[in-house]
Structure 1
Amino acid sequence: MRTTWLCLSILLGSLVAVVPVQADMSQGELRLKAMEEKLNALHEPDLKVNYGPHGVKSTKDVKASYGKKGFRLETGNELFQTNLQWRAQMRYSGVHSSDPRSPGDFTRLGTSNFELRRVRMKIGGHGYKPWLKYYFEVDLQPSTNTLGGNQSRNTRSRVIDWRIDVQPWDFLGIRVGQWKVNYNRERVDSSGRQQFVERSIVNRQFTIDRQVGVMAQGRLFKGTHAELRYYAGVFNGEGKGVNNPDDNHMYMARIQWNFLGRDLKWRQSDVKFHKKPAGSLAFATAHNTGVCTRWSSSGCGNLSRYVAPGTAGQQTEAYEIEQYLEEFAFKWQGLSLQQEYHWKNIRDTANIIMVNKDYMDGGYGQIGYFPHGLISAVPEGLEVAFRYAVVNEPDRSIVPQGVFNENMREEFTGALNYFIAGHNNKVTLDVSYLNLQDASTNRFYDDGRVRLQWDISF
Structure 2
Amino acid sequence: MKLKWTMLLLFGMVTSYFTQAQDITNNKFGKGLVNIVAKDSSYSLKFAARFQSLYTGSWDFPNNDNLENGEGNFLIRRSRLKFEGFAYSPKLEYKIELGLSNRDIGGASAFTNNAPRYILDAVLKWNFYENFVLWAGQTKLPGNRERVISSANMQTVDRSLVNSKFNVDRDMGMQLHHHFNLGNNVIVKEAFAFSQGEGRNVTSGNLGGYQYTGRIEVLPFGDFDDYTGADLKREQTPKLGVGVSYDHNSNAVKTRSNGGSYMTTDTGFFETDINTFFVDGIFKYQGFSAMAEYAKRTADNAVAVNSDGTPTGRVVEVGDGFNMQAGYVFKNNYEVVGRYTQVSLDESITGQGVENQYTLGLSKYIVGHKLKVQTDVSWNDYENNLDNSLAYRLQIDIHF
Is TM more than 0.5 here?
yes
Partner of 1:215: 175
- Superposed displacement of residue 72, structure 1: 0.4
Partner of 2:292: 339
Select the structure with the greater relative contact order (CA < 8 A; seq sep ≥ 6).
Answer: 2
- Superposed displacement of residue 263, structure 1: 3.9
Asked if 1:428 is matched to 2:374, the reply is yes
Could you tell me whether the CA contact under 8 Å between 1:293 and 1:321 is conserved in 2? no
> 2:188, 2:124 → 1: CA distance?
22
> 1:206, 1:387 → 2: CA distance?
18
Task: Tell me which of 204, 211, 217 is aligned to 1:250.
Answer: 211
Letter in 2 for 1:321: I
- Superposed displacement of residue 396, structure 1: 4.7
- Superposed displacement of residue 311, structure 1: 5.3
- Superposed displacement of residue 133, structure 1: 0.4
Task: Map 1:50-449 onto structure 2 (within 5 A).
Answer: 66-67=27-28, 68-70=30-32, 71-95=34-58, 109-142=69-102, 156=116, 158-169=118-129, 171-221=131-181, 224-242=184-202, 243-246=204-207, 248-288=209-249, 289-294=251-256, 300-302=259-261, 308-310=262-264, 312-315=266-269, 317=271, 319-348=272-301, 350=304, 359-372=318-331, 380-396=332-348, 407-438=353-384, 443-449=385-391
Partner of 1:10: none
Shift in CA distance, 360/124, structure 1 to aligned 2, threshold 3 Å? same
- Superposed displacement of residue 309, structure 1: 3.9
Shift in CA distance, 337/427, structure 1 to aligned 2, threshold 3 Å? same
- 3-state SS of the aligned residue for 2:367? coil
- 3-state SS of the aligned residue for 2:152? helix
Residues 147-189 of structure 1 show CA distances to partners (whole Å, capped at 9, x for unaligned) of xxxxx99995711111000124452110111111121110111
> 2:287, 2:67 → 1: CA distance?
39
- Superposed displacement of residue 359, structure 1: 4.1
Larger Rg: 1
- Superposed displacement of residue 363, structure 1: 1.1
- Superposed displacement of residue 223, structure 1: 6.8
> 2:301, 2:103 → 1: CA distance?
35
| C-alpha RMSD of matched pairs (Å) | 3.2
Could you tell me whether the CA contact under 8 Å between 1:301 and 1:309 is conserved in 2? no
Task: Map 1:38-57 onto structure 2 (within 5 A).
Answer: none
Letter in 1 for 2:391: R
Shift in CA distance, 143/268, structure 1 to aligned 2, threshold 3 Å? closer
Letter in 1 for 2:256: R
- 3-state SS of the aligned residue for 2:133? strand
Shift in CA distance, 309/79, structure 1 to aligned 2, threshold 3 Å? same
Q: Normalising by structure 1, what TM-score?
A: 0.71
> 1:153, 1:384 → 2: CA distance?
44
Asked if 1:455 is matched to 2:393, the reply is no
Partner of 1:31: none
- 3-state SS of the aligned residue for 1:348? coil
Letter in 2 for 1:423: H
Could you tell me whether the CA contact under 8 Å between 1:212 and 1:236 is conserved in 2? yes
- Superposed displacement of residue 368, structure 1: 1.0
- Superposed displacement of residue 264, structure 1: 3.4
- Superposed displacement of residue 113, structure 1: 0.4
Letter in 1 for 2:144: N
> 1:87, 1:223 → 2: CA distance?
40
> 2:238, 2:39 → 1: CA distance?
37
- 3-state SS of the aligned residue for 2:282? strand
Shift in CA distance, 300/188, structure 1 to aligned 2, threshold 3 Å? same
Letter in 2 for 1:324: F
Shift in CA distance, 397/326, structure 1 to aligned 2, threshold 3 Å? closer
- Superposed displacement of residue 203, structure 1: 1.2
Residues 348-380 of structure 1 show CA distances to partners (whole Å, capped at 9, x for unaligned) of 2755899x99741111001011133xxxxxxx2
Gap regions ≥5 residues in structure 1 = 1-63, 147-151, 303-307, 373-379, 399-404
Shift in CA distance, 65/78, structure 1 to aligned 2, threshold 3 Å? farther
Shift in CA distance, 397/346, structure 1 to aligned 2, threshold 3 Å? closer
- 3-state SS of the aligned residue for 1:110? strand
> 1:155, 1:107 → 2: CA distance?
40
Could you tell me whether the CA contact under 8 Å between 2:254 and 2:316 is conserved in 1? no
Could you tell me whether the CA contact under 8 Å between 1:204 and 1:294 is conserved in 2? no
Q: How many correspondences in the alignment?
A: 357
> 1:255, 1:432 → 2: CA distance?
32
> 1:387, 1:234 → 2: CA distance?
33
Partner of 2:16: none
> 1:347, 1:448 → 2: CA distance?
36
Could you tell me whether the CA contact under 8 Å between 2:51 and 2:78 is conserved in 1? yes
> 2:295, 2:103 → 1: CA distance?
31
Letter in 2 for 1:393: L
> 1:163, 1:389 → 2: CA distance?
32
> 1:397, 1:227 → 2: CA distance?
41
Shift in CA distance, 126/110, structure 1 to aligned 2, threshold 3 Å? same
Q: Percent of pairs identical after alignment?
A: 27
Gap regions ≥5 residues in structure 2 = 1-24, 107-111
